[in-house]
Amino acid sequence: MARIIDISQPVGTLTAVWPGDQPFEVGWTMRRADGHSVNVAALTMSVHTGTHVDGPFHFEDDGGRPAELDLEAFIGPALVIDAVGVEELSENVLDGVDIGLAGRILFRTREHVDASTFPSPFAAISPALAHRLGRAGIRLVGTDAPSVDPVDSKSLDAHRILAANGVAILENLVLAGVAAGHYTLVALPLRLVDADSSPVRAVLLDGSIS
């Protein structure tokens, strides 16, 4: 069987969120300790908490919601590219890399990921790289950063360019310790009909599936 590599951030009360966003909170509508037959948790959280898909409605008022996303983009061959140490994900990160059959590109930019700390700074995707990935027919772009655009961006150029080319966006991955190379990605968004984006449980399959 293929080895399963979990590349999702743990989600809990210590998980860092985008500055100003809703922190993760958990309450209980039923507790066995209070005499109920079951424990039932109720969550309050941003859909951008931890590893998540950015849906087009996140940055375009007429963009698609998570329930409308093409699921084929989130399952299939993926190439992890080691870009640790770069200040920006520019076209140079593709030098010497054959992305022709990759389908999905995941950028590893950090040696370690601490889900309880918001990274500052982080490596965003340049508009030129976003255009190049779109022209190459890439279905999905993922990053271990909290955004494909800089933290202070108002225009969200990379988001818009990728979306305009039909490229799905996956953020806040955990790729520390994952070697560069080819894998199978599974990272399905929830079927949320009203939200802009969706949390995912993202995994890589290393090896053949039996």
- Rounded average pLDDT over 56-65: 97
* CATH number of 105's domain: 3.50.30.50
Domain enclosing residue 105, as ranges:
3-8+47-206
Residue count of the chain: 210
Query: Has residue 79 been placed in a domain?
Result: yes
pTM exceeding 0.85: yes
Rounded to the nearest angstrom, the gap between the alpha carbon of residue 118 and the centroid of all alpha carbons in its chain is 15
State how far the Cα of 149 lies from the Cα of 54, in Å rounded to an integer.
12
Query: Has residue 135 been placed in a domain?
Result: yes
- Which pLDDT belongs to residue 101? 84
Q: Is 58 a catalytic residue?
A: yes
- Which pLDDT belongs to residue 100? 83
Query: Has residue 188 been placed in a domain?
Result: yes
- Rounded average pLDDT over 57-67: 97
Which two structure tokens, joined as six digits, stand for 35?
């005499």
Give pLDDT tens digits for 154-183.
999 999 999 999 999 999 999 999 999 999
| pLDDT reading at 110 higher than 90 | yes
Query: Has residue 36 been placed in a domain?
Result: no
Number of domains in the chain: 1
State how far the Cα of 21 lies from the Cα of 196, in Å rounded to an integer.
14
Catalytically annotated residue among 48, 52, 58, 159: 58
Under 8 Å between Cβ of 100 and 127: no
Classified as helix, coil or strand, 165 is coil
Secondary structure letter of residue 96 according to DSSP: T
Strand-pair partners of 198 = 53
Query: Has residue 155 been placed in a domain?
Result: yes
- Rounded average pLDDT over 81-97: 97
- Rounded average pLDDT over 122-144: 98
- Rounded average pLDDT over 76-89: 97
Rg (CA), the chain: 17
Query: Has residue 32 been placed in a domain?
Result: no
| Cβ-based neighbour number of residue 162 at 10 Å | 27
pLDDT level of residue 208 (50, 70, 90 thresholds): low
Query: Has residue 25 been placed in a domain?
Result: no
Query: Has residue 183 been placed in a domain?
Result: yes
